[in-house]
Copies of this chain bind each other. A is one copy, B any other.
Amino acid sequence: MTDLLALTAELVDRVSVSFEEAGFVHWLQSELVALDHLEVTRVGDNLVARTNLGREHRLILAGHTDTVPVNHDPALPGGSNGFARIEGDTLWGVGSTDMKGGLAIFLDLARTVPEPSLDLTFVFYAREEVPQEHNGLAELARLRPDLLDGDCAILGEPTDGAIEAGCQGAMRFEITLAGARAHTARPWMGRNAVHRLASILTELASYEAREPSIDGCSYRESLQAVHVEGGIAGNVVPDRAVLRVHHRYAPDRSADQAEAWFRELLAPYMDKDDSIEVIDSSLACPPSLTHPVLQQLRDHNGLEVRAKLGWTDVARFAELGVPATNFGSGDPAIAHTRDEHVHRDSIERTAAALRSLVT
Contacts and interface: CB of A to CB of B under 8 A. Distances in A.
Contacts of A225: 192, 194-195, 230-231, 238
A339 to B, nearest CB: 17
Contact of A226 (B172, B238, B243, B310): B238
A192 B168 contact: no
Given A198-B202, A204-B198, A184 B228 contact: no
Interface string A188-203: 0000101111110110
A64 interface: no
A185 B172 contact: no
A280 interface: yes
Interface string A230-248: 1111111110010110101
A224 B237 contact: yes
A280 to B, nearest CB: 7
Nearest to A235: B246
A192 B205 contact: yes
A204 B227 CA distance: 20
A88 to B, nearest CB: 29
A221 to B, nearest CB: 10
B309 A222 contact: no
Given A184-B246, A201-B194, A202-B202, A232 B226 contact: yes
Interface of A: 168, 170, 172, 183-187, 192, 194-199, 201-202, 204-205, 222, 224-238, 241, 243-244, 246, 248, 280, 309-311
